[in-house]
Amino acid sequence: MTDVAISSFDDLSPKTAYALWQLRQQVFVVEQDCPYLDLDGRDLEAGTRHVVLSDGDQLAGTARILDDGDVWRIGRVVLSPTHRGKGLADVLMRAAIEAVTDRDIVLDAQSPLAGWYAKLGFAADGEEFLEDGIPHTPMRLRR
């Protein structure tokens, strides 16, 4: 059974925080071969919210919502390899979208996933760019 929780960093248990960072490193740094500094300090900001998707006692996925002033920014959207292909990415993103309703939401989608984000209501909002060698498309969900 899956469960979604949305928490500030201070409300995450040490075990959950470790699992989030481990999953992000496993997918973004190792699987996608993008060596970058994941621990950028933004996890700790007062307005940051962490979306935690659990499947029983396993971390299935996570996303990070940043307070960027006039917009919310969703990033670090990731599913465990063992939980892909089950519709859980939709569950994760819908929870993130529903968590912040008072401003537009922006994100930088990996370009091959832009169509999936469009199905969630996002529209392209700028020119495609490369980040760590991966094409990304800026997108916005207007409120």
Q: Where are the domains of the chain?
A: 2-101
Q: Which two structure tokens, joined as six digits, stand for 93?
A: 């993103």
pTM: 0.93
The predicted pLDDT at position 38 comes to 83
The predicted pLDDT at position 29 comes to 87
CATH topology classification for 2-101: Aminopeptidase (3.40.630)
Would you write out the chain's pLDDT as a tens digit for each of its 143 residues?
Answer: 899 999 999 999 999 999 999 999 999 989 998 887 788 989 999 999 999 999 999 999 999 999 999 999 999 999 999 999 999 999 999 999 999 999 999 999 999 999 999 999 999 999 999 998 899 999 999 99
The predicted pLDDT at position 105 comes to 99
Tell me the C-alpha distance between 141 and 120, whole Å.
9
The predicted pLDDT at position 132 comes to 86
Dump the DSSP string for the chain: -EEEEEE-GGGS-HHHHHHHHHHHIIIIIIIS--------SGGGSTT-EEEEEEETTEEEEEEEEEE-SSSEEEEEEEE-GGGTTSSHHHHHHHHHHHH--SS-EEEEEEGGGHHHHHHTT-EE-S--EEETTEEEEEEEE--
For strand 123-124 and strand 105-110, is the pairing parallel, antiparallel, or unpaired? unpaired
